[in-house]
Amino acid sequence: MANVSKKVCLLGDFAVGKTSLVRRFVYNRFDDKYLSTIGVKVSRKTVSVPHHDQIMALTLMLWDLAGSEEFSAMRASYLRGAAGGILVCDLTRPETLNSLFSYVEDLSRLNPKARLILAANKHDLVDQHQLSETEIATAADQLNISYYLTSAKTGNEVESLFRQLGRQLI
């Protein structure tokens, strides 16, 4: 089985759940406590992806980047060589959806061919949603990418999100 590695960056404002999505996908774990990421944390997970009637082993190198703007200066070095990006927003904080457009600019400037996907996270906090699915769909349409309503807490759509991006990468 052929094996390829692809670098995927998780982008989004602080506390939208980037680290939690990676933790859920890679270790199938979730921790309610918010731990702010500084810099970058790289994790990896290999998934099997169908490709031309074959199954391919795709190792996703997941770059969980700090969401705080004080790390934006060094973001360029983190983004270099990214084949894909997961744009993460928080359904309970509308401003986190608007921010995604600037992350897309940063990533696309360095990696014009990078494939993107949108994760509208914290789907489990139904009572606190400030963003509707229509608004998410509109943003995804504008970026011409697909979107998933994810919950790192319950695991809802997390696997699908990463696998879908994996398929797009090969």
Partner 1 sequence: MDPTIIEAILQDRKIAYAIADRKLNVVALGGEVELISATRIRGECTLFDLTPELVGNEATLADILAGQLPRFELAWVNRDTVDGKISYLTMVELPYRDHNGQIVGIVHLVDDVTEMGSLKQHLAQQRNELRLLRDELTRQNLELGVAITELQELDELKSRFISVAAHELRTPLTSISGYLEVLLEEEMSPLTSDQREYIEIVRSSTDRMLNIITNLLDVTRIEAGRIELVLQPADLSKLVQAVVAEIKPQLEAKAKRLKLHAAPDLPPALCDKNRAIQIIENLLSNAAKYTPQESQIAVNIALAKEEGFLEISVVDNGVGISAEDQDKIFSRFFRSKSAVAVGASGAGLGLHITRSLVELHGGRIWFESKLGQGSTFHVTFPIAG
Q: Which is nearer to partner 1, 41 or 51 (CB)?
A: 41
Which residues are CB-neighbours of 98 under 8 A, at least 6 positions away?
A: none
**Among 26, 40, 125, 143, contact with partner 1 (rule: CB under 8 A):** 40
Alpha helices (H) along the chain:
18-27, 75-79, 95-110, 133-143, 158-169
Query: According to CB under 8 A, which residues from 51 to 80 bind partner 1?
Result: 59, 61, 63, 66, 68, 70-71, 74, 77-78, 80
Which residues are CB-neighbours of 26 under 8 A, at least 6 positions away?
A: 43, 44, 45, 62
Q: Output the smallest distance, CB 53 to partner 1, in A.
A: 27
Sites of contact with partner 1 (CB under 8 A)? 5-7, 14-15, 34-42, 44, 59, 61, 63, 66, 68, 70-71, 74, 77-78, 80-83, 93, 95, 130
